[in-house]
């Protein structure tokens, strides 16, 4: 699929899956608006993408934990008559710790980034897409959306919200020309674990998917019109088998795998 003349907004583009999504969309010819907090990282990525793919890249450094951030992104794009055809809600983080031990401000920040900003960005941009009768949204969830995860209680619950929200939205959007897709990655080699304070064994680290492959799976599913995709055969099989596991056992398994 060639995306020349289309504009994609990618959140969380300063590393990991978001960085790869931005590169892959640019490789297909899309102009980009990339955002995250680390401006220097975004500028380096923008330079590299412009040089390789000759597309337009706009950098907007902001904190999606701030309630005004989605409006700022809107003002800088659609507000300037620069429509966004593809919205990638990828920014997110987790914290590995019992819920009560995480400072409330940190949990609040996580809910704001992972859920509230994602929902507001979807709301704002999808309304314009619907008027134009075309557009794509990819919301990045997690396989954590499939079960309660001790030590990642709010994170995984939030990802369940993202999954249910996106699938419901995809249904509502039937026949409008706008597509919404949810990507549920399993363990992916990015900065996620470091940010979450997770110490991974070498064996677990070796089973992780590359961010390049995860991004490719998500984009392909979105363009094919899938409502939900779990990255990789092993993860997909695991999530399918979970349907037959009693919930109490699923929580126990999650606790054992994650700690």
- Residues near ligand NAP (CB under 6 A): 12-18, 36-38, 63-65, 90-94, 113, 140, 142, 185, 187-188, 190-192, 195, 211
Helix, strand or coil for residue 82?
coil
CB of 61 to ligand NAP, least distance (A): 8
Q: Largest Cα–Cα distance in the chain?
A: 52
Distance in angstroms (rounded) separating the CA atoms of residues 156 and 148: 6
Concerning whether 159 is annotated as a catalytic residue, the answer is yes
Q: Which helix (H) or strand (E) holds 230?
A: strand 228-230
Name the residue nearer to ligand NAP (CB basis): 134 or 160: 160
Q: Which of 4, 53, 130, 155 is catalytic?
A: 155
CB of 174 to ligand NAP, least distance (A): 26
Give me the half-sphere count of Cα atoms (radius 13 Å) on the Cβ side of residue 164: 11
CB of 101 to ligand NAP, least distance (A): 20
* Residue among 14, 1, 132, 5 nearest 56 (CA): 5
Q: Which of 28, 159, 171, 202 is catalytic?
A: 159
Name the residue nearer to ligand NAP (CB basis): 172 or 191: 191
Name the residue nearer to ligand NAP (CB basis): 41 or 82: 41
Name the residue nearer to ligand NAP (CB basis): 109 or 176: 109
Distance in angstroms (rounded) separating the CA atoms of residues 47 and 45: 5
CB of 73 to ligand NAP, least distance (A): 10
Name the residue nearer to ligand NAP (CB basis): 40 or 245: 40
Concerning whether 155 is annotated as a catalytic residue, the answer is yes
* Residue among 164, 145, 139 nearest 235 (CA): 145
CB of 179 to ligand NAP, least distance (A): 19
Burial (Cβ within 10 Å: 0-12, 13-18, ≥19) of residue 199: exposed
Q: How many CB atoms lie within 10 A of CB 126?
A: 21
CB-nearest residue to ligand NAP: 16
Burial (Cβ within 10 Å: 0-12, 13-18, ≥19) of residue 219: buried
CB of 177 to ligand NAP, least distance (A): 26
* Residue among 70, 88, 71 nearest 3 (CA): 88
Name the residue nearer to ligand NAP (CB basis): 134 or 250: 250
User: Is there a contact between 159 and 144 (Cβ–Cβ < 8 Å)?
Assistant: yes
Q: How many CB atoms lie within 10 A of CB 143?
A: 23
Could you list the active site residues?
A: 155, 159
């Amino acid at each position: 699929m060639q995306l020349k003349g289309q504009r994609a907004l990618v959140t969380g583009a300063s590393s990991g899956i978001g960085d790869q999504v931005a590169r892959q969309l640019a490789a297909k010819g899309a102009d980009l608006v990339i955002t995250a907090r680390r401006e220097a990282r975004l500028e380096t990525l923008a330079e590299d993408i412009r040089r390789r793919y000759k597309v337009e890249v706009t950098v907007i450094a902001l904190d999606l934990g701030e309630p005004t951030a989605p409006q700022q992104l809107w003002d800088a794009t659609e507000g300037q008559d620069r429509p966004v055809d593809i919205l990638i809600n990828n920014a997110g983080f987790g914290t590995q710790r019992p819920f009560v031990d995480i400072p409330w401000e940190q949990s609040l920040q996580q809910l704001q980034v992972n859920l509230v900003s994602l929902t507001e960005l979807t709301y704002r941009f999808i309304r314009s897409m619907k008027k134009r009768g075309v557009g794509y949204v990819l919301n990045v969830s997690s396989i954590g959306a499939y079960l309660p995860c001790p030590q990642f209680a709010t994170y995984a619950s939030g990802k369940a919200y993202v999954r249910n929200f996106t699938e419901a939205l995809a249904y509502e959007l039937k026949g409008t020309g706008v597509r919404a897709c949810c990507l549920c990655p399993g363990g992916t080699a990015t900065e996620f674990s470091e940010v979450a304070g997770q110490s991974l064994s070498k064996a677990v680290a070796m089973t992780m998917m590359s961010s390049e492959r995860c991004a490719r799976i998500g984009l392909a599913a979105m363009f094919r019109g899938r409502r939900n995709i779990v990255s990789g055969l092993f993860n997909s099989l695991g999530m399918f088998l979970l349907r037959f596991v009693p919930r109490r056992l699923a929580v126990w398994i999650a606790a054992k795998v994650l700690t």
